[in-house]
Amino acid sequence: MFETFDHTADIGLRVTAATLEELFAEAARGLTSLLIENIADVRPTLTETIQLAGTEIDYLLFDWLNELLFRFETGKLLCCEFNVRLSDQGLEATIRGEPSDPARHRLAHEVKAITYHGLSVQHTKSVWQTELILDI
Protein backbone atom coordinates (compact mmCIF):
# COMPACT_ATOMS: atom_id res chain seq x y z
CA MET A 1 0.00 0.00 0.00
CA PHE A 2 1.19 3.50 -0.74
CA GLU A 3 -0.25 6.97 -0.25
CA THR A 4 0.92 10.47 -0.97
CA PHE A 5 0.90 13.47 1.33
CA ASP A 6 1.44 17.17 0.74
CA HIS A 7 4.74 18.78 1.58
CA THR A 8 5.73 22.39 0.91
CA ALA A 9 6.60 22.63 -2.82
CA ASP A 10 7.12 18.86 -2.89
CA ILE A 11 5.10 15.69 -2.45
CA GLY A 12 5.53 12.95 0.09
CA LEU A 13 5.24 9.23 -0.41
CA ARG A 14 4.35 6.92 2.48
CA VAL A 15 4.54 3.15 1.90
CA THR A 16 3.62 0.17 4.07
CA ALA A 17 4.26 -3.49 3.22
CA ALA A 18 4.61 -6.88 4.88
CA THR A 19 8.15 -7.50 3.57
CA LEU A 20 11.08 -5.32 2.65
CA GLU A 21 10.94 -6.50 -0.98
CA GLU A 22 7.25 -5.58 -1.15
CA LEU A 23 8.08 -2.17 0.34
CA PHE A 24 10.52 -1.50 -2.51
CA ALA A 25 7.97 -2.68 -5.11
CA GLU A 26 5.18 -0.57 -3.59
CA ALA A 27 7.45 2.48 -3.45
CA ALA A 28 8.13 1.99 -7.17
CA ARG A 29 4.39 1.77 -7.87
CA GLY A 30 3.91 4.91 -5.83
CA LEU A 31 6.54 6.73 -7.89
CA THR A 32 4.88 5.59 -11.13
CA SER A 33 1.50 6.78 -9.86
CA LEU A 34 3.00 10.22 -9.34
CA LEU A 35 4.38 10.26 -12.89
CA ILE A 36 1.11 9.26 -14.56
CA GLU A 37 -2.55 9.33 -13.54
CA ASN A 38 -3.52 5.98 -15.06
CA ILE A 39 -0.94 3.45 -13.90
CA ALA A 40 -3.37 0.60 -14.67
CA ASP A 41 -2.94 1.33 -18.39
CA VAL A 42 0.80 0.58 -18.38
CA ARG A 43 1.50 -2.69 -20.20
CA PRO A 44 4.35 -5.05 -19.25
CA THR A 45 5.79 -5.34 -22.77
CA LEU A 46 9.49 -4.70 -21.95
CA THR A 47 11.61 -6.41 -19.31
CA GLU A 48 14.77 -4.94 -17.80
CA THR A 49 17.04 -5.85 -14.91
CA ILE A 50 18.41 -3.45 -12.32
CA GLN A 51 21.32 -4.24 -10.00
CA LEU A 52 22.35 -1.86 -7.25
CA ALA A 53 25.05 -2.33 -4.64
CA GLY A 54 24.44 -1.18 -1.09
CA THR A 55 23.94 -2.32 2.44
CA GLU A 56 22.00 0.54 4.07
CA ILE A 57 18.33 0.00 3.31
CA ASP A 58 17.25 3.66 3.25
CA TYR A 59 20.01 4.63 0.81
CA LEU A 60 19.29 1.55 -1.29
CA LEU A 61 15.63 2.60 -1.51
CA PHE A 62 16.76 6.08 -2.57
CA ASP A 63 19.04 4.61 -5.28
CA TRP A 64 16.25 2.26 -6.46
CA LEU A 65 13.70 5.04 -6.94
CA ASN A 66 16.36 7.30 -8.45
CA GLU A 67 17.20 4.59 -11.02
CA LEU A 68 13.53 4.21 -11.96
CA LEU A 69 13.17 7.98 -12.32
CA PHE A 70 16.33 8.08 -14.47
CA ARG A 71 14.91 5.40 -16.78
CA PHE A 72 11.69 7.38 -17.11
CA GLU A 73 13.51 10.63 -17.83
CA THR A 74 15.95 9.16 -20.37
CA GLY A 75 13.89 6.43 -22.04
CA LYS A 76 10.34 7.38 -21.02
CA LEU A 77 10.04 3.93 -19.43
CA LEU A 78 6.94 3.48 -17.29
CA CYS A 79 6.97 0.35 -15.16
CA CYS A 80 4.05 -1.61 -13.78
CA GLU A 81 5.65 -4.81 -12.44
CA PHE A 82 8.52 -4.96 -9.97
CA ASN A 83 10.14 -8.17 -8.78
CA VAL A 84 12.65 -7.07 -6.14
CA ARG A 85 15.24 -9.30 -4.46
CA LEU A 86 17.40 -7.94 -1.66
CA SER A 87 20.62 -9.49 -0.37
CA ASP A 88 23.58 -8.53 1.80
CA GLN A 89 25.21 -7.01 -1.31
CA GLY A 90 22.29 -4.92 -2.53
CA LEU A 91 19.31 -5.15 -4.83
CA GLU A 92 18.50 -7.05 -7.99
CA ALA A 93 15.16 -6.39 -9.62
CA THR A 94 13.28 -7.32 -12.74
CA ILE A 95 11.05 -4.53 -13.95
CA ARG A 96 8.41 -4.68 -16.65
CA GLY A 97 6.67 -1.86 -18.44
CA GLU A 98 6.57 0.14 -21.64
CA PRO A 99 7.60 3.51 -23.05
CA SER A 100 5.28 6.37 -22.22
CA ASP A 101 2.61 6.83 -24.89
CA PRO A 102 1.01 10.30 -24.83
CA ALA A 103 -2.09 8.86 -26.50
CA ARG A 104 -2.63 6.40 -23.60
CA HIS A 105 -0.77 7.70 -20.54
CA ARG A 106 -1.90 10.89 -18.80
CA LEU A 107 1.10 12.57 -17.17
CA ALA A 108 0.49 13.67 -13.58
CA HIS A 109 3.52 15.32 -11.94
CA GLU A 110 6.96 16.20 -13.16
CA VAL A 111 9.08 14.51 -10.52
CA LYS A 112 12.42 16.29 -10.58
CA ALA A 113 14.21 14.27 -7.91
CA ILE A 114 13.98 11.84 -5.05
CA THR A 115 15.26 13.60 -1.93
CA TYR A 116 17.00 12.48 1.25
CA HIS A 117 14.81 14.89 3.24
CA GLY A 118 12.64 12.90 5.63
CA LEU A 119 13.82 9.57 4.22
CA SER A 120 13.26 6.74 6.64
CA VAL A 121 12.71 2.99 6.47
CA GLN A 122 11.42 1.30 9.61
CA HIS A 123 10.27 -2.13 10.69
CA THR A 124 7.48 -1.89 13.25
CA LYS A 125 5.67 -4.93 14.60
CA SER A 126 4.86 -6.95 11.49
CA VAL A 127 5.17 -4.29 8.75
CA TRP A 128 7.80 -2.26 6.97
CA GLN A 129 7.18 1.46 6.48
CA THR A 130 8.90 4.25 4.64
CA GLU A 131 8.38 7.94 4.08
CA LEU A 132 10.22 10.08 1.58
CA ILE A 133 9.85 13.42 -0.15
CA LEU A 134 9.94 13.91 -3.93
CA ASP A 135 10.81 17.23 -5.54
CA ILE A 136 8.13 18.19 -8.07
* 45-98 pLDDT tens trace: 999 999 999 999 999 999 999 999 999 999 999 999 999 999 999 999 999 999
CA dist 10 and 136 (Å) reads 5
Half-sphere CA count of 124, side-chain side, radius 13 A:
7
| pLDDT score of 4 more than 80 | no
**CATH number, domain 2-135:** 3.55.10.10
Q: What are the domain boundaries of the chain?
A: 2-135
- DSSP string for residues in 78-113: EEEEEEEEE-SSEEEEEEEEEE--TTT--B-----E
Query: Hey, CA dihedral for 99, 102, 105, 110, is it positive or negative?
Result: positive
Nearest to 49 by CA among 97, 3, 102: 97
Q: Which amino acid does the sequence have at 84?
A: V
| pLDDT score of 3 more than 70 | no
pTM, rounded to two decimals: 0.91
pLDDT tens, 7-37? 566 888 999 999 999 999 999 999 999 999 9
